[in-house]
Amino acid sequence: MALITQAIKGTQDVTPAESYKFRFIEQTCFETAHLFGFGELRTPVFEHTELFERGVGDTTDVVQKEMYTFTDKGGRSLTLRPEFTASAVRASVERGLIYDALPVKACYIGGCYRSEKPQAGRYREFHQFGVELYGAAAPAADAEVIALGMSALTELGIKKISLEINSIGCPECRAQYHNALREYYNQHLDSICDTCKERLERNPMRLLDCKAECCKEIAANAPRILDYICDDCRTHFNSVKTYLDAMGIDYKVNPSIVRGLDYYTRTVFEFISGDIGAQAAVGGGGRYDSLFRLLGGPDTPAVGFAMGIERIKMVMEAQGAEFPEPERPSIYLAPMGEAAIARCMALCRQLRDEGFAAETDLNGRSVKAQMKYADKRGFRYTCVIGDSELESGMVRIKNMETGEQTETNLATGILETLYDIGLSATLDNLNAAMEGFSGASDALSALLGDDD
């Protein structure tokens, strides 16, 4: 037997044995974003191609080489999103978010599509967690989103991550820098790739992040933007650093960070890990004060970042961070004989209504085979129900770890026994949530000087 086709190169299937890790990362990221006041924004997976051509920039690698673009039945050019920022700007104007209370704080998680050469940490379908903050031009906003990124990574148990920051100035101070770059690269025209030769005139900064080996060497010695930024941009950058210092967030100024997308202005930053090989950027972002206007919206300052979920998982695994394992299922009811099947199905329904993960046989297997299954799946308790149990109205619940058996009433006892053991996942979660809530409200009362 052979499948008619296989998964597309650069895409991944995530099986239940791994998916709980992704769920943990996603949940932790959302919870952290929530603490900073960010609400989830969902946008379509595909957009009109021009959104990315204009937004990301038509001289970027992403637009020139990596987009999945197709023509739909109506003859329109559509593209699978290579990133979220352009979509989030479009949606925030189209849905009027930016006409409400500012700053707008939006976060997202979802798939992105880039036709890059697949390798460890680089996929054609990957997933990003990101945040975007609109309507705040002050440097505190830059520091705030950076702090959010650091908090999410810390909350995930990532201990070693370096934050690298830079300023790439504004359109005004960049003109002079562009001239310096053109002058430098004109001396190296023979050594750079053909794409870079083409984009040198229009967008010389794009040559700095070209992935071609020949271009990387030349880029290493190119003039640095920090030597060219204007006083306003320098003051802004200094304030960002002051706020990061105040929050105790370590960073390194790396003058070679320019980011691979065209919309950035002033602050840019990356979260870098030394534990995952060549694709070391776990996340990146920056300020992009011109993008709203470029896309036809009102002038709106903006700052944000995105992180690759797959890369976060790689770093966590490399650093031995813990992924809380999913709860083991509570109880397996093993029917013996036709009459018991219906009873077990009815009991499962009742148990699930109460929040217990309960299963029964769906294959007509022997009790021995069922027990093997229950053991393999990690059930905490099992209970065999056959004709004699139905007749006597009594069953025995077996603890799969200790082998200990508890005799109880078939009609009412299973539920009671599980409650006695304190197994209900729903109840446990509820209790934990209530503890957290009372802790938080105590802290709040203390802060407010509330004596009650």
Own/partner long-range contacts of 152-157 (Cβ < 8 Å, ≥24 apart): 152/28, 152/29, 152/32, 152/33, 152/307, 153/271, 153/282, 153/307, 153/312, 155/28, 155/31, 155/32, 156/24, 156/25, 156/28, 156/29, 156/312, 156/316, 156/321, 157/316, 157/319, 157/321, 157/322
| Binding span for ligand HAM by CB under 6 A among 149-157, 158-166, 171-179, 280-288 | 280-288
Residue number of the CB atom closest to ligand HAM: 308
Which of 152, 282, 331, 333 lies at the binding interface for ligand HAM (CB under 6 A)? 282
According to the binding rule CB under 6 A, does residue 67 interact with ligand HAM? Answer: no
Tokens of 416: 């009671």
Angle between helices 139-155 and 231-246 in degrees, nearest 10: 40
Binding mask 256-275 for ligand HAM (x = CB under 6 A): ----xx--------------
Which amino acid, 224?
A: R
Burial category of 172 from C-beta neighbours within 10 Å (exposed 0-12, middle 13-18, buried 19 and up): exposed
Q: Which is nearer to ligand HAM, 65 or 197 (CB)?
A: 65
128 binds ligand HAM (CB under 6 A): yes
Long-range pairs for 349-355 at CB < 8 Å and ≥24 separation? 350/415, 351/414, 351/415, 351/418, 354/415, 354/424, 354/426, 355/424, 355/425, 355/426, 355/427
For 266, left (φ over 0), alpha (ψ -120 to 50), or beta? left
**Paired tokens of 169:** 């100035």
The span of 38-46, 78-86, 221-229, 358-366 binding ligand HAM (CB under 6 A) equals 78-86
Q: Note whether 304 binds ligand HAM by CB under 6 A.
A: yes
Residue 294 makes contact with ligand HAM by CB under 6 A: no
**Is residue 61 within the footprint of ligand HAM (CB under 6 A)?**
no
Per the CB < 8 A criterion, the answer to whether 110 and 309 are in contact is no
User: Shortest gap between Cβ of 287 and ligand HAM (angstroms)?
Assistant: 8
For residue 311, state whether it binds ligand HAM (rule: CB under 6 A). Answer: yes
The residue among 147, 109, 148, 130 whose CA lies nearest residue 24 is 109
The verdict on 365 binding ligand HAM (CB under 6 A) reads: no
Q: Are 361 and 337 in contact (CB under 8 A)?
A: no
Do residues 130 and 107 touch, judged by C-beta distance below 8 A?
A: yes
Stretch that binds ligand HAM, among 40-48, 92-100, 227-235, 279-287 (CB under 6 A): 279-287
128/370 with CB nearer ligand HAM: 128
- From 81-89, 158-166, 182-190, 369-377, span contacting ligand HAM (CB under 6 A): 81-89
- Tokens, residue 328: 């083991």
240 sits near ligand HAM (criterion: CB under 6 A): no
Our finding on whether 97 is near ligand HAM (CB under 6 A) is no
The residue from 61, 116, 144, 164 that contacts ligand HAM (CB under 6 A) is 116
> Contact between 284 and ligand HAM (CB under 6 A)?
yes
Q: Which two tokens stand for residue 134?
A: 């609109």
- Phi, psi for 198 (deg, rounded to 5): -70, -40
Total of chain residues touching ligand HAM, rule CB under 6 A: 26
Helix axes 16-35, 139-155, angle to 10 degrees: 140
Specify the amino acid at residue 340.
A
308 is an interface residue for ligand HAM by CB under 6 A:
yes
Q: How far is the CB of 184 from ligand HAM (least distance, A)?
A: 24
Q: Which of 83, 164, 262, 289 binds ligand HAM (CB under 6 A)?
A: 83
Stretch of residues binding ligand HAM (CB under 6 A), selected from 69-77, 303-311, 333-341, 433-441: 303-311
State which of residues 57, 135, 139, 283 lies at the interface with ligand HAM (CB under 6 A). Answer: 283
CB of 99 to ligand HAM, least distance (A): 21
Question: Which of 54, 90, 114, 398: binder of ligand HAM (CB under 6 A)?
Answer: 114
Identify which range of 123-131, 178-186, 202-210, 420-428 contacts ligand HAM by CB under 6 A: 123-131
What one-character-per-residue DSSP string does 199-253 give?
HTTT-GGGGGG--SHHHHHHHHTSPPGGGT--HHHHHHHHHHHHHHHHTT---EE
Q: Which two tokens stand for residue 355?
A: 């929040």
Q: Binding to ligand HAM by residue 228, rule CB under 6 A?
A: no
Of the candidate residues 53, 132, 262, 359, the single one contacting ligand HAM (CB under 6 A) = 132
Taking the least distance from each CB to ligand HAM, the nearer of 38 and 84 is 84
Residues that bind ligand HAM (CB under 6 A): 83-85, 114, 116, 122-123, 126, 128, 130, 132, 260-261, 281-286, 304-308, 310-311
